[in-house]
């Protein structure tokens, strides 16, 4: 499919479905953290995904060899991917799904701010700047307001914020480096391959690798490997290679809405005013950042 200048119907439907999958993913990570130490869990997920992606590439006839000029970018994105998921899995171990999701899915805020300086043609406008202010206010509210109690951990919130910035960095690397010339499957392979090595190497520093695993937790790990990483992430990378980065990112505001709902329904999490208010501000800001400006039709004189 040739690159698009806007999100069409196919792209919109695909991104809504992906947003739901990513919302479910937050709950799955939270549940599986009861069984596995978070950094080990993230590394095991990446290691399993390496084999699934290799099978996918063999079936699709995709070659793994990279041009020499792309290798540094591939290694860098793998390291950034490692940091992103070390922080996200830790965040979901320390704080609620609702809080972590609102903060993590502020990613378009950091992507839009970075793209202004790094991606030609993706500049900030007054409307986008207003959106940045609203979204930033929402993130700050979520982090600073501790009135929700429960599992509202400041360290967990800050880890989610770091993970959001890591996600934005991976999107920038895909759009602004030689990686943009590489197929999505190859991009993802290097992300999971490097992260498997990094995360499994550092996992023992974060405590015992196993907590109290049961069969359902191994099913959660399999779901992460096959559905979320192998197919979900490949699909996301393919979409971001076709559609504008900011447009793809804008649909991510649906995921925290769905994550808050699922956290309340499935995990009995308390959803207070700070979470809902922050969610509203972040969503409004992201809509403003990514709204397509109206085309001015010249008037005949």
Angstrom CA distances, 134 to 140, 243, 292, stand at 10, 25, 18
Is pTM, for the whole model, over 0.85?
no
Determine the average pLDDT of the residues in 210-220: 93
- Specify if 142 maps to a domain: yes
| DSSP code string of 191-238 | HHHHHHHHHHHHGGGGS-SBSS--HHHHHHHHHIIIIIIIIIIHHHHH
d(CA 121, CA 111): 14
| Count of structural domains, the chain | 1
95 in a structural domain: yes
**For residue 18, which of 250, 293, 297 has the smallest C-alpha distance?**
250
The two structure tokens encoding residue 255: 């995921």
To 5 degrees, how large is the angle CA 117–CA 124–CA 247? 95
pLDDT of residue 120: 67
Placement of tokens 């934005």 in the chain:
168
Q: Give the integer Cα–Cα distance in Å for 241 and 7.
A: 12
For the segment 22-38, the average pLDDT, to the nearest whole number, is 91
Which of 287, 261, 275 lies closest to 139 in space, CA to CA? Answer: 275
pLDDT at 297 over 50: no
pLDDT at 245: 67
Residue 297 lies in a domain: no
| Residue 15, SS3 per DSSP | helix
299 found inside a domain: no
Residue 296: Cβ within 10 Å count: 6
More confident residue, 146 or 178: 178
Note down the domain range covering 195: 9-290
Q: Is residue 169 part of a domain?
A: yes
Q: What is the pLDDT of residue 28?
A: 92
Q: What's residue 164's pLDDT?
A: 92
Q: Within a domain: residue 295? A: no
> Is 295 a residue whose pLDDT tops 50?
no
Residue whose entry in the numeric block shows the structure tokens 């479910």: 24
CA 76/CA 68 separation, integer angstroms: 14
Q: Quick check: 291 pLDDT over 80?
A: no
Beta bridge partners of 210: 36
4 domain-assigned:
no
Give the three-class secondary structure for 36: strand
pLDDT reading at 231 higher than 60: yes
- β-bridge mates for residue 168, sequence order: none
Most confident range, picked from 19-28, 101-110, 206-215: 206-215
Please say whether the beta carbons of 164 and 88 come within 8 A. no
The CA distances from residue 65 to 54, 58, 100, 182, 288, in Å, are 12, 13, 37, 10, 40
301 lies in a domain? no
Nearest in space to 224 (alpha carbons), one of 16, 13, 18, 26? 26
CB atoms within 10 A of CB 101: 30
Q: What are phi and psi of 42, to 5 degrees?
A: -65, -40
Euclidean distance between CA atoms 78 and 193, whole angstroms: 7
Measured CA to CA, the distance from residue 245 to residue 168 in angstroms comes to 10
Q: What's the rounded mean pLDDT across residues 173-180?
A: 85
């Amino acid at each position: 499919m040739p690159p698009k200048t806007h999100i069409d119907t196919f792209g919109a439907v695909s991104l809504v479905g992906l947003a739901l999958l990513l919302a479910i993913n937050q709950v799955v990570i939270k549940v599986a953290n009861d069984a596995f130490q978070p950094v080990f869990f993230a590394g095991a997920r990446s290691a399993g995904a390496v084999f699934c992606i290799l099978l996918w590439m063999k079936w699709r006839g995709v070659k793994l060899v990279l041009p020499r000029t792309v290798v540094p970018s591939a290694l860098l994105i793998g390291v950034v991917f490692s940091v992103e998921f070390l922080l996200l899995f830790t965040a979901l171990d320390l704080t609620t799904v609702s809080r972590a999701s609102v903060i993590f899915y502020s990613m378009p805020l950091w992507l839009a701010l970075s793209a202004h300086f790094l991606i030609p043609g993706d500049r900030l406008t007054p409307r986008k700047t207003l959106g940045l202010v609203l979204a930033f206010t929402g993130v700050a509210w979520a982090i600073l307001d501790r009135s929700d109690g429960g599992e509202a951990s400041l360290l967990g919130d800050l880890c989610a914020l770091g993970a959001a910035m890591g996600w934005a960095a991976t999107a920038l690397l895909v759009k602004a480096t030689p990686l943009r010339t590489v197929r999505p499957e190859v991009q993802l392979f290097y992300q999971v391959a490097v992260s498997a090595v990094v995360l499994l190497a550092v996992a023992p520093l974060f405590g015992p690798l196993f907590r109290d695993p049961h069969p359902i937790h191994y099913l959660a790990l399999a779901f992460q490997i096959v559905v979320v990483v192998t197919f979900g992430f490949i699909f996301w990378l393919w979409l971001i290679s076709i559609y504008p980065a900011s447009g793809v990112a804008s649909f991510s505001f649906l995921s925290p809405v769905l994550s808050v709902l699922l956290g309340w329904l499935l995990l009995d999490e308390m959803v207070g005013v700070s979470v809902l208010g922050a969610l509203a501000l972040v969503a409004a800001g992201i809509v403003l950042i990514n709204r397509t400006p109206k085309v001015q039709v010249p008037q005949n004189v």
